[in-house]
Amino acid sequence: MTAKILIVDDEPAQQQLLRYNIEKAGYDILLADNGKDALIIIEEVKPDLIILDWMIPEASGIDVCHELRSRPETRLLPILMVSARGEEGDRALGLDSGADDYITKPFSPRELVSRIKALLRRSRPTLLQDKLEFQGLELNPETMRVTRNGDDIHLGAREFKLLSLLIERPERVFSRDQLLDLVWGHGVYVEERTVDVHMSRLRRALNKRADGGPDRPDMIRTVRGAGYALTKKD
């Protein structure tokens, strides 16, 4: 899985410099040169991280931050704010508006890529790791292979995406609305019951033994009225 990074900058030279260095690091790039277009792209494409210049037309970087943090589906979207404004008060304002990190121009491409990796490591570890492991469960994002205690688990595409989210943040409860947005996409009309159906399929696949023995302990916890979480089992 390759992370999609949206660069929001209205200076063509800076935009292309960022694009070159970030693509070189192995990421897919999306571009926007104003705040209004950035919000449209974010809603339609759902990038994994945003590099956001403070001084952009239509809506400033600060305005875009506030808007993204007010929406449930983008509340946790990593934002790296870029600005020529290096005063302590400016940095504080950028971070207080919702940016996860703040970097001042001029900066080295190496530092920028390091900060991108740090943000992705916290928000979407599956994008940076060869595999994720939890309680004998292993998921490989590149090969889409899942095993439990060494046995192969065969999953459909939706079930794989659901498990990817759950295993990224064990014990965290995801609501049905969050799962719909993250797996099916924001703005796509799907009934909440659909999440329950796919979660039941995921449960069966994880718990059933290939040798026909008794089912394994259920690792998916249902929180009534809240959602689902991947939890430890003794």
The amino acid sitting at 200 is: S
Contact 143, 136 (CB under 8 A): no
Instruction: Confirm if 172 and 229 have CB atoms less than 8 A apart.
Output: yes
Q: In this structure, are residues 21 and 61 in contact, taking their beta carbons and an 8 Å threshold?
A: no
What pLDDT, on the 0 to 100 scale, is given for residue 188?
Answer: 60
Q: Please, which residues have CB within 8 angstroms of residue 140's CB and are 6 or more apart in sequence?
A: 130, 131, 146
Q: At what angle do helices 192-207 and 157-168 cross, to 10 degrees?
A: 80
- pLDDT at residue 51, as a whole number: 94
Class assignment of domain 132-230?
mainly alpha
Domain regions of the chain by residue span: 4-127, 132-230
Instruction: Please give the CATH number for the structural domain made up of 4-127.
Output: 3.40.50.2300
The answer to whether 219 and 231 are in contact (CB under 8 A) is yes
Q: What is the mean pLDDT of each run of 10 residues along the chain (234 residues)?
A: 86 90 90 93 90 91 92 87 81 87 87 88 65 87 86 91 87 87 70 90 91 88 90 74
